[in-house]
Structure 1
Amino acid sequence: NSNSNKEYKRVAWKVNERDNNVWIIHALAVRYEYRGMGLATQLVKNIISYAKLENIEAIHLYVIDKNTLADKLYIKVGFKYISTENIFYEVVGNRQFRM
């Protein structure tokens, strides 16, 4: 969706949110028994393809720091690292997130 945490505003995104031209991946998970089958890669590629059809200018995402598997996935499909930010979410508290 295009709803972001207010702390996203301080991130130096290449494309800033405006007029719903940016989608945000808030969470992505694959059940343990289905990991290693390329499902997450295909899911993210499908999101990217659909965003292009919808004329979305950019997709933003964040990864809890030290989640190296997620980092590798997103870089593999073309995402670029911007910064690491300390962000508060009720479900996890204050954590470092790679943007």
Structure 2
Amino acid sequence: MTKDRRLDDIETPIEPANLRFLRRLVTVLTVIMIGGVVTVVSLLVIRLNEAPAPLPLPQQVTLPDGAAATAFTVGSDWFAVVTEGDEILIYDQVTGTLRQTIAIE
């Protein structure tokens, strides 16, 4: 005689305590990891959407006679103008005076 076994009759095995601890630990770590990724992505979006700080550009630059500017760059306390005559003119950012002229060969 065969006895029909129903799902209700099947005994569920008892889960060891260390396995239960590991399952909870993995769940907690997964939630923390998801929260960390969301935080990093949101901070990146916030930082990348900010307007950049304005550059402190001089109001006017007096170039030598016959010089025409082709490029401009700013350093910590200087700015430079590259001219069509293959020269780099380095000016003081505070006073606007010419510091150095470098010929490009």
User: Normalization by structure 1: what TM-score?
Assistant: 0.20
Task: Return the index of the structure with the highest Cα Rg.
Answer: 2
Q: With CA pairs under 8 Å and 6+ residues apart, which has the higher RCO, 1 or 2?
A: 1
